[in-house]
Homo-oligomer: A and B are copies of this chain.
Amino acid sequence: MAVTLGDVARHAGVSLATASRALNGSARSVTEELSAKVRASADALGYLPNAPAQALARSSGATIGVLLHDVADPYFGGIARGVGDAAARAGLLSLVTSTDGDPRRELEAIRMLHAHRVRAIVLAGSAYNDVSVIQELDEALAAYQEQGGRVAAITDHGPLYDTVEVANKEGAAALTRALLDLGHRRFAVITGPERMRVAEDRLDGVLEALDESGLTPVEGMLQRTEFTREGGRAAMARIVDVARESGTPLPTAVIALSDICAAGVLAELRARDIAVPEEISVAGFDDIPLATDLAPALSTVRLPLARMGEFAVRLALREGGGRDLADNSHASAEVVLRDSTAAPGVY
Binding site for B on A (CB under 8 A): 1-2, 46, 48-53, 55-56, 61-63, 65, 70-74, 77-78, 80-81, 84-85, 88, 93-98, 111-117, 143, 146-148, 229, 263, 266-267, 289-290, 292-296, 305-306
Contact = CB atoms under 8 A, between A and B. Distances in A.
Given A85-B98, A111-B48, A295-B295, A93 B71 contact: no
A78 B88 contact: no
Contact of A290 (B62, B113, B263): B263
Contact of A266 (B53, B267, B293): B293
Given A55-B52, A289-B72, A95 B93 contact: yes
Given A293-B267, A294-B290, A115 B81 contact: no
A266 to B, nearest CB: 7
> How many copies of this kind of chain does the complex include?
2
Contacts of A98: 81, 84-85
4 tightest A-B CB contacts, nearest first: A295-B295, A52-B55, A72-B81, A52-B52
Contact of A80 (B71, B117, B267): B71
25 contacts: A48-B114, A50-B117, A51-B112, A51-B117, A52-B56, A52-B61, A52-B116, A56-B56, A63-B116, A71-B77, A73-B77, A74-B290, A80-B80, A81-B98, A84-B97, A93-B113, A93-B116, A94-B95, A94-B97, A95-B95, A96-B96, A229-B290, A229-B293, A267-B293, A295-B295
A292 B306 contact: no
A84 B96 contact: yes
Contacts of A306: 72
B95 A143 contact: no
A49 B115 contact: yes
B51 A143 contact: no
Contact of A72 (B48, B78, B296): B78
B50 A95 contact: no
A154 B305 CA distance: 28
B115 A51 contact: yes
A74 to B, nearest CB: 7
